[in-house]
Structures are given as structure tokens and as C-alpha cells.
Amino acid sequence: MLRIIFLSKSARNLFFDKVLFYYKYKNWVELYKKLDIPRSVFDKYRHGELTLPLELYNKMASLFDNKTKSYFLINIKSVDSNWGQREGGKSAYIINKEVFNKGIIKGLIKIREKINNGMSKKFDINLNLDNNLSYFIGLFIGDGFSNKYGKYHLTQFVGNKKEEYYFYNDLICPYINQTFNVRPQIKEFVGANYIRINIYSKDLFLMITERFNIAAGKKSYTVLIPEIIVKSSSETLLSCIAGIYDAEGCIFWDKRKKYLQPYPRIDLHMINPSIIKQINDILVKEGIKTSISGNYERILIYGKKNISDFLKKVPIKNPKHLSKLGEITTGSAK
């Protein structure tokens, strides 16, 4: 039987917090009773002392939205139930680390050569900061990842396979190709509901990490809108926020009977309170009415009028959002 391992303590903690949130329970007691799990066993799952059975993981994640499911798909791995008996393989990796890494780098060389197909990969990392570049950085803040492997540099985006394939294929990838002189690769996975967009370019990596000062590796808890963008024009700054919303935002229409008509809201939820506060302060300064949930856990924008005001200034582009907003995007909101 397959079991689930979280790749980091923070991912595991976030997973259980999300389960509690989506099940709408007040505490762990209500949750483990709902799941019919003994408290001692549940605590071991929560603290990483036991791996989660795949069936239980799927049950716990069944209420997650697609964005949340996609996030955890790249922060877990599945193993056989007897995986512990094979932990000796870790020692083999440590002993032969150089050989393993050479194999990874060799694979990166082949992939990168195939992707770029002889194209020049050089561009000026100090190219003009316009609205499109600012939007790209915002999208990277929300959905992006960068890292260095030996002397090779990877920039990556993750999107929903069903809702965002054409967004990346028809809009984002052509922009990357034309602006950064490198051809991205969209990678699909059988049985998975997400895609990865891989870009192999040292200059792009340097632009993100050095010019815009966004650290390589995990950035979810620390990233902020770069100072160079904050100090730019209002239009350019709001383009960056549009990229963040296209990556991390969610659109809801509340159809409960207490509303005469379906009532819309835009929800931006990130695990970094500092960037939530930064974005909210900018929106409020622009005259956009917002509400904050929790200790800067999410920004909520309620009602057609407030959302219309938001859309007039924040130029979101993701079709999965625009299609849900319907009449508000046409200017017929009241």
C-alpha cells in the first residue's frame, strides 16, 4: 500500500492546517473524530512520526481546491509501505553523491539543449521595467521557483493543467520566448492535474535573484514585491499585483439564499503575512476597498462594485479568472 511523505515540515504543517480549514472544524479533536482516527495515531501523522496512507491523504485533501491540491502534489512523495526497509539507499546516495549529481546535471544538459534548440540564451537582465515585465515578476512571486544545479539554472512555474494550460502556452510562454530569448518547455504528468513550465537560462535566473532580489529556492514565507517595482509607477506596480492575483487569487460566487443574486468575491490567500500586508496597503492606497481575514492571511474583495474598482486598476489576464468574473469584466456590474 502506498503512503505519503511530506518533503518538508512546513508543507506537512500547512497540509494539516488546510485540512482543518476546509473541513471547517474548530480544533484537532473534531477533525480526528470526523476522520475516525485514534488521537495517538492522528498526532503521529500530524507530527511526521508516521507516514500517511494514500487513501487517508486523498480523503483529507478531498475538499481542497485545485490550486491547493496542486501545491501539495509538488511537496509530497509516495512510497511503498515497506519503504523504511530500503532507507539504506540514502547511505548509498551520500557515499556516491558526486556520481548522482553528475547524472542530474547530465540530464539537465540534454533537456536544456533539446529545449533551446540552438537559440541564443543571452539577454540584458537590466532590460526596461515595463508593465509586462512587472506582471511576469508578479506571476513568478505567486507560482514561480528558481534554483541552480551545478552550473545550470532553472526557472519554473506550476499551473493547473485543466484551467491554465492555454494561459501558459498561448500567453506566458510566447512572452518568455520573445523577451528572454529562451524557449520554455511545458511538462505534463500522467494522472496529475498540474503542469510545470521549465525555463533554462542563467540570465533569467540572475535577473530574478539579483536584479529583483528574489531568493532562489523556497520563497513562500519571505518573498515581497521587489523594491524596484514598488518605487516604479502606479500602473507598473499594479501590473505586478495582477501577476500575483493571476497566480494565487481565487474567484467565488456565493449562491446562498440570503443573497438575491449570486454574490462575488476575490480571495488572495498566501502563507506570508508580510506580502499580504504589502499588497493590501497598496490596494487601499489606490482606493480599492478590501477586507483582511485573520492575521494577514488573506485579502478579500466583496461585491460587484468593489471588484469592478479592482479590475479597473489591476489588469489580471488569466482566463480562468476572467471567465468566472463574467459581467463584471464587461463593465456591466452594479
At 183-227, the pLDDT tens digits run 999 999 888 888 999 999 999 999 999 999 999 998 988 999 999
246: left (phi over 0), alpha (psi -120 to 50) or beta: alpha
Return the number of other C-beta atoms located less than 10 Å from residue 330's C-beta: 8
- Pairing type for strands 185-188 and 194-200 reads antiparallel
Burial class for 281, CB neighbours closer than 10 Å (0-12, 13-18, 19+): exposed
* Position 259 pLDDT exceeds 70: yes
* Predicted local confidence at residue 89, as pLDDT: 44
* Position 94 pLDDT exceeds 50: no
Q: In 124-259, which ranges are continuous DSSP H helix?
A: 131-143, 161-167, 173-180, 202-206, 227-230, 234-248
Q: How far is Cα 157 from Cα 146, in angstroms, rounded to an integer?
A: 9
CA distances from 315 to 3, 31, 174 (A): 42, 40, 19
Say if residues 152 and 145 touch (Cβ distance below 8 Å).
no
On average, the pLDDT of the chain sits at 84
99-127 core/surface letters (b: 16 or more CB in 10 A; e: else): eeeeeeeeebeebbeebbeeeebeeebee
Say if residues 225 and 240 touch (Cβ distance below 8 Å).
yes
* Position 292 pLDDT exceeds 90: yes
Q: How far is Cα 268 from Cα 314, in angstroms, rounded to an integer?
A: 13
Confidence of residue 40 (pLDDT cuts 50, 70, 90): confident
Question: Using N-to-C axis directions, what is the helix angle for 173-180 and 131-143, rounded to 10°?
Answer: 120
Q: What is the mean pLDDT of residues 278-298?
A: 94
- Tell me the per-residue pLDDT of 138-188, one tens digit each, with 9 for 90 and over: 999 999 999 998 888 999 999 999 999 999 999 999 999 999 999 999 999
Task: Specify the pTM.
Answer: 0.66
Say if residues 51 and 5 touch (Cβ distance below 8 Å).
yes
Q: What is the mean pLDDT of residues 117-131?
A: 77
